Amino acid sequence: MRYDLNLLPIFIALMEERSVTRAAERLGMTQPALSNALARLRLMLKDQLFIRERYGIQPTPIALELAPGIADALASLDDAVLGQQDFDPASAQRLFTIAPNGYVEFVIVPALVARLAEVAPGIRLRLTPYGNDLAETGVVSGTTAMVLGRITDPPDNLVVQHLMDESLQCVVRTGHPLIGDSISRDQFEAMKHVNVVPPGRLRAGLFQALAQRSLKREVALSVTNFFAVAEMVAATDYIATLPRLICRRLAIDPRVKVLPPPADLGTFPVEMAWHVRYRHDPAHRWLRRVVADTIAAVS
């Protein structure tokens, strides 16, 4: 039987997004074009594949059974084809989807974008959220080029590269009435804290570090990103415990000051993970080197 290989990435996108609209956006297609492709998929694979529900689509049992084999077939095809291609970053035109956690997006991505603009102006990035579930990012199937952050329990089809270890520091407002150039354990535990949620893995790591040192923390305010922390701390007598590179960025704000924590809170890893299908892709190998070099430069 002859198969239309162009339909297989569409099948994977529908499996992961569980939405015709989101899958079309990810693939750069119109919804009518994707619906037409889905009709051809159903004919080719002799199954309904996806059933419409109130909040999207759900795969049929046959679609669930086919998905791992199709993803592996695409990976093998990429290995065979991409490994033979040359890559010139100065002239290349390519879009990479990456999934950085909130920490990486704040401290690494701006430097990465600046570097790409300098050496590879035709390379574009699309950012997708990286929370607690690697599968949701698309990296497990290979539709997302890489995830950046703290990688835990990766499946066998992901390659994980350690990039750096990061430590933690504290931030308070300049002129805080109780805090000078250092903070004691008693002061830390007596103060109200600003917490950042997500990123999930980083947040869990902080809670674990505090628990291991028997440090108590009263969270008075939770914010959804690092950008809000400086404003919250500058306007209150609260304190925030954040990664060192985040604190370095915030320290340029004269309204806040950075202090060491009252105890050694250890370190957490910053890692990069990608699907094995990209191991021989020259463009992907080049991007991995740029990401690693960028993190080394900013750390």
Give the CATH number for residue 281: 3.40.190.10
Looking at 56, 82, 108, the residue that finishes a domain is 82
Count the neighbouring beta carbons within 10 Å of the beta carbon of residue 4: 12
Looking at 82, 106, 141, the residue that finishes a domain is 82
Number of domains in the chain: 3
Cα(1)–Cα(140) distance, integer angstroms: 28
Q: Is residue 89 part of a domain?
A: no
Q: What is the CA radius of gyration of the chain?
A: 23
Residues 150 and 178 grouped into a single domain: no
Structural domain that includes position 125: 94-163+269-298
Residues 258 and 284 grouped into a single domain: no
Residues 159 and 105 grouped into a single domain: yes
Residues 152 and 104 grouped into a single domain: yes
Residues 262 and 278 grouped into a single domain: no
Burial label, 264 (beta-carbon count in 10 A; 0-12, 13-18, 19+)? exposed
Cα(197)–Cα(225) distance, integer angstroms: 7
CA distance readout (Å), 115 to 109, 281, 294? 10, 20, 8
Residues 34 and 10 grouped into a single domain: yes
In the DSSP assignment, the letter for residue 278 is G
Q: Is residue 57 part of a domain?
A: yes
Residues 262 and 196 grouped into a single domain: yes
DSSP 102-163: HHHHHHTHHHHHHHHHHH-TTEEEEE----S-HHHHTTTTTSS-EEEE---S--TTEEEEEE
Residues 262 and 172 grouped into a single domain: yes
In terms of pTM, does the model score above 0.75? no
Per-residue pLDDT of the chain (299 residues; tens, 9 = 90+): 567 888 888 898 898 888 888 888 878 788 898 999 999 999 999 999 999 888 789 999 999 998 888 887 877 776 666 555 568 899 998 899 999 988 899 999 999 999 999 999 999 999 988 876 787 788 887 888 999 998 988 888 889 999 999 999 999 999 999 899 999 999 999 999 998 876 444 556 677 888 888 889 999 998 888 888 889 999 999 999 999 999 999 989 999 999 999 999 999 899 999 988 888 788 999 999 999 999 999 98
Residues 174 and 225 grouped into a single domain: yes
